[in-house]
Amino acid sequence: MTLLQPEADRRQNEISDLAFSYLATALQEETGIVLTAVKRELVVSRLSRRLRALDLPDFDAYCDLLAGPDGAVELNEMLLLLTTNVTRFFREPHHLERLRQDILPDLINKARAGERVRIWSAGCSSGEEAYSLAMILLDLCPEARSMDIRILATDIDRNVIEAAKRGLYRFDEHELLADPLIQKYTTPTEAGAFQVNPDVKSIVKFACLNLQKPWPMNGKFDVIFCRNVVIYFAAQTQQHLWPRFANALHEGGHLMIGHSERITGAACAYFKPVGTTHYQLVSRGNAP
């Protein structure tokens, strides 16, 4: 015997073309992320729980809420549910090897001379990338905590930022044993759970930041990691973002992007490729 789904549940799990278009436009305008039609089921899956929590009958009513006077608050909740947070420790190791071998030695010498060194993990998700960078840095320079060398890690999702600050992760035994730095710089807390050590956490600062909005940082960065982030943005948004990264870097600074991402268009005048998805700033030109 087949049980019919209650009408209210059915409506909360279906989305009209108009409602999907409205939500996709709202997400792109706020974050630059593009929702294509293939993401329709994902939108329903992630947002239907909000409809139930708010006691709304369908997605049309949810759109009305977003368009109303209290829409800004709910928009933020929607962003947290629709943004993707996928990461892991020591991801894309070719970048990290270049960092260790070719970039950090000079930056460490710069810091030892009393100068300021900054690395930015943009779109850091739950913090694994930023902590990986910190572990490599401390492995090369144990006294880094006493120098003016720090890692800024930002993400639009406040929930993953709070998780990143805690620095508590789960590894399977194979993953833990596969990387000696994870063993060296984390402490087991319970079966399968490990806490990032305080010396690693001390050189990383986490903050919420929407890449589409103004950036509050005044100083320049020596290295920026923004990997597997802009792939979710429209081409126009990407073309606007590359010059902003150029303006945020020191001359000769490095930009690392995701394996499926490439700098294209006018921004090619600012950067030269020096490795796989690894670019170096050669000129800011008229970057905003």
Residues that are catalytic: 46, 155
- Measured CA to CA, the distance from residue 71 to residue 59 in angstroms comes to 14
Q: Closest Cα to residue 136, out of 115, 105, 166?
A: 105
Identity of residue 276: T
SS (H, E, C) the chain: CCCCCCHHHHHHCCCCHHHHHHHHHHHHHHHCECCCHHHHHHHHHHHHHHHHHHCCCCHHHHHHHHHCCCHHHHHHHHHHHHCCCCCCCCCCHHHHHHHHHHHHHHHHHHHHCCCCEEEEEECCCCCHHHHHHHHHHHHHCHHHHHCCEEEEEEECCHHHHHHHHHCEEECCHHHHHHCHHHHHHEEEEECCEEEECHHHHCCEEEEECCCCCCCCCCCCEEEEEECCCHHHECHHHHHHHHHHHHHHEEEEEEEEECCCCCCCHHHHHCEEEEECCEEEECCCCCCC
Residues with Cβ within 8 Å of 147's Cβ and at least 6 positions away in sequence, in order, are 111, 112, 117, 141
